[in-house]
Chains A and B, each alone.
Chain A
Amino acid sequence: MSPTMTEATVVTLKIDDREISARSDQTVLEVAWENDVFVPALCHYEGLGDVGACRLCLVEIKGSPKLTPACAIKVVQDMEVITLSERLQKYRRSIIELLFAERNHICSVCVSNGHCELQWLAQKLGVDHIRYPYLYPKVSVDASHERFALDHNRCILCARCVRACDEVEGAHVWDLLGRGVDTRLISDLGTPWGESETCTTCGKCVHICPTGALFEKGKSVAEMVHARPRFAAMARVRNNSGR
Chain B
Amino acid sequence: MTPEELTLAAEKEENGSRAFEHIVGVCTSTACLASHSDKIKKEFDAQVKAKGLTKSVRVKAVGCCGLCAEGPMVYVESQADAEKAAETRTYAHVSNEAVPALVDSLGAAPVADLACDTAQPFFTRQHKIVLEHSGVVDPERLEDSIQVGGYQALLNALTTMNPADVVDTIMRSGLRGRGGGGFPTGLKWSTVAKAVGDRKYVICNGDEGDPGAFMDRSVMESDPHRVLEGMAIAGYAVGATEGFVYVRAEYPLAVKRLKLAIKQAERAGLLGANIGGTHFSFKIDVRLGAGAFVCGEETALIASIEGRRGSPRPRPPYPAASGLWGFPTLINNVETFANIAPIVKNGAEWYAALGSGKSQGTKVFALTGKVKNTGLIEVPMGITLREIVYDIGGGPFDGHTIKAVQTGGPSGGCIPEAYLDRPVEYETLVQLGSIMGSGGLIAMDDTSCMVDVARYFMEFCMTESCGKCIPCRVGTVEMHALLTKICEGQATMTDLEQLEELCDVVRSTSLCGLGQTAPSPVISTLRYFREEYLAHIEHKTCPAGVCSGLKSGAVKAKEVVA
A interface residue numbers (CB < 8 A to B): 2, 51-55, 58, 66-67, 69, 72-73, 90-91, 94-95, 98-99, 101-102, 131-133, 135, 156-157, 175-176, 178-183
Contact = CB atoms under 8 A, between A and B. Distances in A.
A176 B309 contact: yes
B21 interface: no
A182 B313 contact: no
Contacts of B471: 55, 94-95, 98
Contacts of B410: none
A101 B505 CA distance: 15
Contacts of A135: 474, 477
A132 B464 contact: no
A98 B475 contact: yes
A52 B473 contact: no
Nearest to B197: A2
B274 interface: no
Contacts of A94: 471, 501-502, 505, 509
B309 A157 contact: no
Contacts of B477: 102, 135, 180-181
Interface in B476-495: 476-478, 481
B257 to A, nearest CB: 29
How large, as a class, is the contact surface on chain B? Answer: 20 to 34
B509 A95 contact: yes
Nearest to B498: A131
A179 B466 contact: yes
Contact of B469 (A55, A66, A176): A55
Contacts of B294: 179
Contacts of B399: none
A91 B508 contact: yes
A181 B474 contact: yes
6 contacts: A2-B326, A52-B511, A73-B314, A91-B505, A102-B473, A181-B462
Given A72-B314, A91-B508, A131-B498, A53 B464 contact: no
A55 B458 CA distance: 21
A181 B465 contact: yes
A229 to B, nearest CB: 24
Contacts of B510: 55
Contacts of B469: 52-55
A180 B509 contact: no
B463 interface: yes
A132 B505 contact: no
Contacts of A66: 508
B316 interface: yes
B474 A99 contact: yes
B468 interface: yes
A102 B478 CA distance: 9
B81 to A, nearest CB: 61
B527 to A, nearest CB: 20
B470 A54 contact: yes
B505 A95 contact: yes
Given A52-B313, A95-B509, A131-B498, A182 B478 contact: no
A95 to B, nearest CB: 5
Contact of A180 (B313, B466, B505): B466
B467 interface: yes
B292 interface: yes
A183 B292 CA distance: 14
A183 B501 CA distance: 25
Nearest to A42: B470
A181 B505 CA distance: 17
A42 to B, nearest CB: 9
A67 B509 contact: yes
B501 to A, nearest CB: 8
Contact of A102 (B474, B498, B508): B474
B182 to A, nearest CB: 16
Q: Of A53, A69, A91, A183, which is in contact with the most chain B CB atoms at under 10 Å from its CB?
A: A53
Contacts of B498: 131-132
B481 A133 contact: yes
A53 B465 contact: no
Contacts of A131: 498
Nearest to B315: A72
The CB with the most chain B CB atoms within 10 A, among A132, A135, A180, is that of A180
B478 A133 contact: yes
Nearest to B505: A94
Given A90-B505, A132-B498, 13 more contacts: A52-B314, A53-B469, A54-B469, A69-B511, A132-B474, A133-B478, A133-B481, A179-B467, A180-B462, A181-B467, A182-B467, A183-B466, A183-B467
B463 A180 contact: yes
A98 B470 contact: yes
Contact of A51 (B326, B464, B468, B473): B468
Contacts of B316: 73
Nearest to A92: B509
Q: Which 10 A-B pairs have the closest CB atoms?
A: A183-B467, A52-B314, A72-B314, A98-B474, A180-B465, A94-B505, A102-B474, A55-B509, A53-B468, A179-B467
A53 B470 contact: yes
Given A52-B314, A133-B481, A181 B473 contact: yes
A144 B486 CA distance: 43
Point out which of B294, B471, B474, B475 has the most chain A C-beta atoms below 10 A from its C-beta.
Answer: B474
Contacts of B474: 98-99, 101-102, 132, 135, 181
B309 A53 contact: no
Contacts of B326: 2
Contact of B473 (A90, A133, A157): A157
A69 B512 CA distance: 12
A224 B409 CA distance: 47
A181 B459 CA distance: 12
Given A67-B508, A73-B316, A98 B478 contact: yes
